[in-house]
Amino acid sequence: MIDNSFIDVKKAKKLLDINKMLTQSLKIEEILQNLIVAANELIEVSDVLIIYLYDEKSGKLKFAEGEGIDKEKLRHIAFSPGESISGKVFVEKKSKLFTSEQEIDAYMNNMDEENYRYYYQGVYKRKIKSAFCVPIVNKDHCFGIVVVDNFNQDGIFTKEDMHVIEVI
C-alpha cells in the first residue's frame, strides 16, 4: 500500500521547486519548457503536455511548447476561441477534466479540418483516452491553456492531477 501523505509531500516539494524555477527566468521559452518538464514529472499517466498561447494579432490560440508530440506539426495549428477543447476552455476560463473518449470527441467535434489534420499528425495519429485542460489566467485575462493528454497509459486523470497543474 502506498502512503498518500508521502506522495502529497513529494508533490508539494516539487511544486515549491517549480515556483522557484519559474520566478528565476524571465525568458518565456525557458519558463514554458520548465513548466512542461515539471508537469510531466508530477502527472503520472500523462503522455502529452501542450501549451497554447493566445496571439492577440491573429485572435488565435497557437502552439507554444509541448512534450510527447511532433512540435513542427503543431506549429501549424491556430485554434479560434471556442474551437475544440482548447478553444472552449480558453473562452470559459475554467479547467475541464475528460474521463471518456465520448466526452473528448464531443468537445473536439467543431475543430477546423486543417487544425484537425495537423493535430492528429502532431500526436502521432493516436486517440485520446483521457485528458484535462487548464486555462492560464491572471486577473480574469486568459493568456492560453495547458492540455494534458493520456493516449497509452491505463488509468484516467483525476481532479487532483488537474489541481496540480492549476497550482503551477
Question: How confident is the model over 71-94, as a mean pLDDT?
Answer: 98
Q: Which of these, 63, 157, 60, 80, lies nearest to 119 by C-alpha position?
A: 63
- pLDDT of res. 27: 67
Question: How confident is the model over 34-58, as a mean pLDDT?
Answer: 83
Three cell numbers written together for 155: 488509468
Three cell numbers written together for 114: 486543417
Distance CA 84, CA 109 (A): 7
Whether the pLDDT of residue 77 is over 60: the answer is: yes
Whether the pLDDT of residue 9 is over 80: the answer is: no
Question: Quick check: 81 and 58 in contact, CB under 8 A?
Answer: no
Alpha carbon 43 to its chain's center: 11
Percent of the chain at pLDDT above 90?
55
Question: How confident is the model over 84-89, as a mean pLDDT?
Answer: 97
What distances in angstroms separate CA 154 from CA 5, 45, 47, 58, one per listed residue?
Answer: 23, 8, 11, 38
Question: How confident is the model over 119-131, as a mean pLDDT?
Answer: 94
Kindly report the CA angle at 138 between 78 and 136, in degrees rounded to 5? 40
Whether the pLDDT of residue 92 is over 60: the answer is: yes
Residue type at 149 in one-letter notation: D
Three cell numbers written together for 147: 492540455
**Phi then psi dihedrals of residue 134, to 5 deg:** -125, 125
Question: Quick check: 142 and 54 in contact, CB under 8 A?
Answer: yes
- pLDDT of res. 1: 41
